[in-house]
A = this chain, B = another copy of it.
């Protein structure tokens, strides 16, 4: 199977590494950054790298696209006459419903796009931060659409397990976006707001422990990618933020009222829920 990874950033690069470790050796890369291509080739992650992928796409059986959401769409438009008949494409995009509608509208009939989302990432950009380790034991979500062929869904799922993921779940794009709004986008919003709410001029660095460090790691955020992800899932994210605010208000009210018993109940609830995870 000839595999092409499009976008050798932190996620695409990690895919090439995980593919290599899993024994896939007919892998090629496409990126606009020549250095990334050179690095991937030097590390033996790809057979060849291309800035213009037209030729290699023509013979690709399986294409993994790791680009920003709007660039995925552009890639499909640019290559719609290049794809091999029956080729399978997958993506790593963190939003699904609106994104899939956009893609399905422009996708050639004879191409099967299996939409997916590896629940693994790093806050840094670029192939220098890529690592197959981030995939090990992680969750993966597939969001099948009616035109997907079962054999292609199975092929992708099989490959996902082989490159180290622990669990693959098939769900609807709607449910994906609802859950991701809560488990990924809301935490990113909180981390960003936490860091930005610091009062200017304090020596905060001298007063932090592991909790602040852990909660703010993802405040180091790729602004191009995440502004797209947030706006591509706005209703779900806003709902998650509102649910969060209700719970934060309960804590605020209990503090204002010196209501120790309610505070304890709130803490007992969060402890139980966290232990179940």
Contact = CB atoms under 8 A, between A and B. Distances in A.
Contacts of A263: 223, 226-227, 230-231
A24 B206 CA distance: 27
Copies in the complex: 2
Given A192-B251, A209-B120, A258-B231, A223 B274 contact: no
Contacts of A121: 209-210
Contact of A209 (B139, B212, B246): B139
Interface string A190-233: 11111111110010111111111111111111111011101100
A259 to B, nearest CB: 9
Contacts of A180: 207
Contacts of A238: 252, 255-256
A38 to B, nearest CB: 27
A interface secondary structure, majority: helix
Interface string A148-181: 0000000000000000000101000000000110
B189 A194 contact: no
Nearest to A247: B193
Contacts of A58: none
Contacts of A197: 182, 186, 240, 243-244, 246-247
B260 A231 contact: yes
Contacts of A243: 197, 199
B195 A183 contact: no
What's the interface size class on A, roughly? 35 or more
A274 B219 contact: yes
Nearest to A233: B255
B213 A218 contact: no
A268 interface: yes
Given A193-B251, A195-B274, A211 B188 contact: yes
B244 A193 contact: yes
Contacts of A192: 247, 251, 266-267, 270
A238 B121 CA distance: 33
Contact of A214 (B208, B218, B269, B275): B218
A139 B234 contact: no
A187 interface: yes
